[in-house]
Homo-oligomer: A and B are copies of this chain.
Amino acid sequence: MRKFAMYGKFKAHPGKGEALAEILLEAAEQCKSVEGCDLYIINVSEDDPDTIWVTELWNDLEAHDASLRNEDAIAMIQRAKPLIAGVEPIKLKPLGGKGF
């Protein structure tokens, strides 16, 4: 079992960054009760209010993949979709550190 990390970059349609961040903050609330999810932090870019970054850390890739099959998550993705112009995931192998 190897931990899995991801930076999820969401580019919102112009002016929709705040609304998108709110949905992602709801998703983060749900993650609080999900075992296998260590971090799910919503950030907005310092440079662009319509670019939202999600910092994710999971016990393993399977825990991450399972979360996407969750019914609540699927419903949330449907709500977020109209706000999103593009998604770019940066997939990472976490090695260690503070908060690992």
Contacts and interface: CB of A to CB of B under 8 A. Distances in A.
A43 B28 CA distance: 22
A24 B98 CA distance: 11
A41 B96 contact: yes
A95 interface: yes
A98 B44 CA distance: 15
A43 B58 CA distance: 13
The range of chain A's interface size is 20 to 34
Contacts of A53: 7, 90, 92
Contacts of A32: 98
A40 B96 CA distance: 9
A55 B56 CA distance: 10
